[in-house]
Amino acid sequence: MRSIRVPSVRRISSFLARPSVSVLPRTAQCYFLARESQPTQQRHFTKTTRCRQVASPPKPQEENEGEGQPRIGCTITTQPDGSETAKIYIANEARLNSLGSNLLQTLKKTCHDLSSREKLRVVVFTSARTIDTKIPAFCAGANIREMAALTSQDEARKFITGIRDACQALRDIPVVTIARIHGLCFGAGLELAASCDFRYATSDSRFSMPEVVLGIPSVVQARLLANIIGWQKTKELVYMGTHLDGAAAAQCGLIDQGYKGPGELDAALDEIVGNLVSQGPQAMRAQKRLVRLWEESDLQIGVDAGVDSFASMWKDGGSEPKEYMKRFTERQRKPKS
């Protein structure tokens, strides 16, 4: 079997930065950023603790997040009344906050741990600032190199189940969840954002489901998109691999509101979180359970069917995915025009 050379994230970054590219490919891994340097009057807490999944303490602001080992971080803030808010962040800065199996497993565990906290009121899901400041990324999607190395349906099923389970764990958190998006939000990253109750983004963010470009279908929690933006817009995203800018995403309802930059976004989130925390905690949990009941219907059947659909692409060893991933990598090696 021929090996496939997969380009570095740096090459993919250069490709994505080219204005002529209308189909933005997906890389992988997610992160969440804790914004701890707000003015005192804006803070809704008196004490901050970190979940054990954090490999090293998050730095104060997105602009100062540095290099380090890929990780899923989490901070918990305790308010004067004893209630808690949490921030989960993906920190894979060097690879556009893309997600591989290990990070997905850690993200799932982080969400499960948060779900058991009785005083939890709100969760914000975000990411660390990427090293290449020209290409900020919330999450560039799933790890292409890991997918390109899959050799069987069993391996493919295990990989995509990891994405499904991480999204489901985020979706199952019993309090309101908010996706704070700045930059690229592709593939699995968009599925994670869709798994949150609300999505707020900067105007320079970009949204795409480009899996077909890689020879695979958009699956699992991509099914949530139809509930959010309707079937026709969902078809446009998953059939054509096109991308939406912040304005277009807000217009079709993919995000709830767009903001000029990270500072304006964070100021708005302070108010939103403060409003949510001010509501009755048990009423909010009951309301979320009810909204989930309203949403579900046959949704889970569609999500689970995505696992079979994804795995079936490897029934012959993955000839089509490998072909399209090979085409993708060959494009990256061509000189820039």
pLDDT at position 22: 38
CA–CA distance, 242 with 224 (Å, rounded to integer): 18
Has residue 134 been placed in a domain?
A: yes
Has residue 15 been placed in a domain?
A: no
Has residue 228 been placed in a domain?
A: yes
Please state whether 127 falls in left (phi above 0), alpha (psi between -120 and 50) or beta: beta
Which is higher by pLDDT, 69 or 130? 69
Has residue 252 been placed in a domain?
A: yes
Q: Is residue 58 within 8 Å of residue 91, measured between CB atoms?
A: yes
CA–CA distance, 150 with 156 (Å, rounded to integer): 6
Please state whether 239 falls in left (phi above 0), alpha (psi between -120 and 50) or beta: alpha
Residue 176: domain span? 22-331
Q: Is the pLDDT of residue 30 over 80?
A: no
In DSSP terms, 47 is beta-bridged to 78
Q: Is 2 exposed, middle or buried (0-12, 13-18, 19+ CB in 10 A)?
A: exposed
CA–CA distance, 184 with 182 (Å, rounded to integer): 7
Q: Is 315 exposed, middle or buried (0-12, 13-18, 19+ CB in 10 A)?
A: exposed
Has residue 168 been placed in a domain?
A: yes
CA–CA distance, 174 with 204 (Å, rounded to integer): 31
Identify which of 108, 120, 55, 115 has the alpha carbon closest to the alpha carbon of residue 83: 120
Has residue 5 been placed in a domain?
A: no
**Which secondary structure element, helix H or strand E, spans residue 15, and what is its range?**
helix 9-17
Report the predicted TM-score, pTM, of the whole model to 2 decimal places.
Answer: 0.79
Q: Where would I find the H helices in 149-280?
A: 153-171, 188-194, 224-229, 231-240, 246-251, 262-277
> Hey, what are 134's tokens?
């020209």
pLDDT at position 293: 86
Q: How many domains does the chain have?
A: 1
**What are 284-322's pLDDT values in tens digits?**
999 999 999 888 867 788 889 899 999 999 999 999 999
**What are 227-278's pLDDT values in tens digits?**
999 999 999 999 999 999 999 999 999 999 999 999 999 999 999 999 999 9
Has residue 336 been placed in a domain?
A: no
For the chain, give the mean pLDDT.
83
Mean pLDDT of 104-130: 96
**What are 200-213's pLDDT values in tens digits?**
999 999 999 999 99
Has residue 283 been placed in a domain?
A: yes
Q: Where would I find the H helices in 241-318?
A: 246-251, 262-277, 281-296, 299-312
Task: Write the CATH number for 276.
Answer: 3.90.226.10
